[in-house]
Copies of this chain bind each other. A is one copy, B any other.
Amino acid sequence: MRYLTAGESHGKQLTTIIEGVPSHLPITQEQINDSLRRRQGGHGRGKRMQIEKDTADMTGGIRHGYTLGSPISLVIHNDDFKHWTDIMGEDPFPEGKNIRRTVSRPRPGHADLNGGMKYGHRDLRNVLERSSARETAARVAAGAVAKVMLEELGIKVAGYVREIAGIVSPFDESMSIEERIEKSHASPVNTLDDETTEEMKKAIDDAKKDGDSIGGVAEVYVEGMPAGLGSYVQYDKKLDAKIGFSVMSINAFKGVEFGIGFEAAKRNGSEVHDEIGWDEERGYYRKTNRLGGFEGGMTTGMPIVVKGVMKPIPTLYKPLQSVDIESKEPFSASIERSDSCAVPAASVVMEHVVAFEIAKAISEEFPSDYFPRLKEALDNYREEVRNF
């Protein structure tokens, strides 16, 4: 499985092509739209979320509610494009007319300046239209297809917020994934605890009032994985590294960790590793899960637990110093309508990119043309592993 996305933030549409999804997987538009809707929710989102009501048009690879094995193409139309046609249109610009809303002032923390240099764009809108986190909608669409596939294979994926602006959600590690999903869906900040929800909402509101922005930590939790996905035999086959890559590739993410992660630097080995147990029914299991479901680049069969940190979104009402690329004069970075906190949405994005990476790993290690064949092979493998 692989995918490419295309489309600019204020362009006509976002497009995703996903290649390698097995045939005969049941799927509906509603399942994808549900994921898109969750990405758009969250306390503290700016006005744009109200303008866009993302839905995915299925334009290839799906027929009568089933995948064909052909590439799947999904389109998220931008209903607001009609107001942007002269700014973002594809046809050569009429001579003598001026392009509106050009940008010569790079915002700190954004791709604007580096992207301008790299691609030779002096109108930095040419950068920001693509580097915008708007693109994550197209990635969520790809991940939504992956989630449907995983669900059919008995693999559940939950994404939620663990921390915002230093407020850490306490939670019971033994909480079931169903409860994690239910609680996070019910929380306007996508976290697992009612009290923390209120604190986080307040922190978001306060940041907004101050013209500042705040970041946080999202966690993805995956249950139902077979042991032995990924590999140690070559450095580029380690599945935790692949998942780490995909988390790090989300806009504004600055770090990733598995299980206890950076905490492992402070503990003794005897308090880090997970002892191995066995019983007739379950086969092998770990008594704890500090390593977050991975040993040697492979799944252990325990839940995958991965955290990613998102920096505060850089589009601030409280201005930062920058330099106009034409005049070379300093200025205070421009105020655009913006959210003060995007961590709840980012936790949904992270859930979906991790789901894609896992579905991809499965499709690479099991027969992945025809879904029932894949499912049977995975079931056989699970049995084999249980009896090892």
Contacts and interface: CB of A to CB of B under 8 A. Distances in A.
A264 B59 contact: no
A276 B124 CA distance: 15
A112 B273 CA distance: 13
A240 interface: yes
Contacts of A73: 6-7, 13, 15
Copies of this protein in the complex: 4
A175 to B, nearest CB: 21
A8 interface: yes
Contact of A111 (B118, B296, B311, B323): B296
A207 B270 CA distance: 11
Contacts of A62: 90
A234 B71 contact: yes
Contacts of A244: 244-245, 248, 256
Nearest to A164: B265
B291 A254 contact: yes
Contacts of A367: 365-367, 377, 381
B117 A232 contact: no
A269 interface: yes
Interface string A271-292: 0111111100000101100011
Residue among A59, A92, A254 with max Cβ neighbours from chain B (10 Å): A254
Interface stretch (A38-46, A126-134, A181-189): A126-134
A70 B118 contact: no
State the main secondary structure of chain A at its contact with B: mixed
A260 B311 CA distance: 9
A188 to B, nearest CB: 19
A118 B370 contact: yes
A385 B114 CA distance: 9
A166 to B, nearest CB: 4
B4 A131 contact: no
Interface string A1-16: 0101111100111110
Contacts of A231: 69, 115, 118, 369
A319 to B, nearest CB: 9
Contacts of A241: 245-246, 248-249
A12 B58 CA distance: 9
A384 B352 CA distance: 34
B120 A24 contact: yes
A141 interface: no
B12 A232 contact: no
Interface stretch (A47-55, A148-156, A191-199, A208-216): A208-216
A5 B17 contact: yes
A68 B265 contact: no
Nearest to A318: B270
Contacts of A135: 235
Nearest to A168: B265
Contact of A5 (B117, B234, B323, B365): B234
B234 A68 contact: no
A119 B67 CA distance: 10
A170 interface: no
Given A88-B63, A91-B28, A262 B309 contact: yes
A316 B275 CA distance: 12
Given A113-B284, A321-B287, A323-B278, A17 B29 contact: no
Nearest to A322: B276
15 contacts: A6-B17, A15-B75, A69-B119, A71-B233, A71-B234, A120-B373, A165-B266, A244-B256, A248-B256, A254-B291, A257-B262, A262-B262, A272-B312, A276-B321, A287-B321
